[in-house]
Structure 1
Amino acid sequence: MVDPLTLLAFVPAALALNLTPGADMMFCLGQGMRFGPKASVAASAGISLGGMVHVTLAGLGLGAVIAAVPWAFDVIRWVGVAYLLWLAVQTLRGGAARQDLALRPSAFRGALIVSLTNPKVILFVLAFVPQFVVPDAGPVLAQFLIFGAVLSAGGFVINATVGIFASGLGRKLAKGGQALRWISSGIFVALAARLAVLERT
């Protein structure tokens, strides 16, 4: 299986990556601000599951196929852009009460979609995780899953914490419901723009 020393070296590297602000963290922040701590935790769980899906695909070799096919990268990317823009529009269109009821239960699902439609994650997993995989140490897929579980667990804790802290700011802004909707929508638009301009390298 995974050598303990290799795992020990992987943990701080994974933690440093988890602490780096990115689309996942921003999505959880937006969910926390808009819908509170429970939504941020659900969103973080969805992000983590999406990460495990990417790691599994990479371990099976499918991630390399996706990374090698230019049009597949672009299709996944633009689906993600469209979904984030749809979230931005829905956030602006609905009233506060209706939005809370409609979107809070889908925080997990929404985060999962955001994670799965970010092709940069596939390329990142393919570039980062194999550095720690030792073929002689056991099944490659099992090693990918172990390293992926470490990444996902750390990401879950950090992203959920960010969202929980953001929920405090969201409560302060709750009286200005329209302003909060604009902020949340702006986060989705910013994430869509970031995804739209991604390059393969």
Structure 2
Amino acid sequence: KIRKLEGRPLLLPVNEEPRPMKDRELQVDIKEIKRVFRCKTELRDACLDQLNKSLNTTRNNLTPGYIESYILKGNKENVIVVWNGHSDKSILHRLDLTQFPILNITCYDKLFNKNFTIQFEKLNTKEIIYEADIGTFNKSGRLLNLVETHDMICKKKHKITYAHDPTVDVKYTKCIFDFVIRKQRYENLIKHF
């Protein structure tokens, strides 16, 4: 089950402990969201709506302690799986959640020929532990985004609650992960951790 983290947003200063944002800091961030996404109204509205939901939630599970206990739940190998997760690594570091290995998934055009490869990378060591060619996609850049990658490997229509819902990102990432597991097998992947 996907657990959505909600609560008062955390400020993650570089050399300080994470802490809940103060009202004034929130107002500054709201103005910044409106400025940055001035032309991308759908994304702006989704960000502001999620912020409003988080501020008005009755449960606050947006804490380092809750996140750690959620990851440790169950008797399993604990690996955090992220999509293009270099900023996720920085966030986890600032939350002092550095004890877990991170598996980064990306989709990259290695040869500049519009032929894309899914890569699994151990983010802490930058070691590529798996690659799978998924075919050609006509675009100008060398990286596919999450939706483009997902749509190349999965024809299932997932239930989407609203645009830019973070739980959809989790579903799409899991779908890509499962695609690779079907090819590579779990045992062959987990031996790297």
- TM value normalised by structure 1: 0.25
Bigger relative contact order (CA 8 A; separation at least 6): 1
Tell me which protein shows more helix as a share of its residues: 1
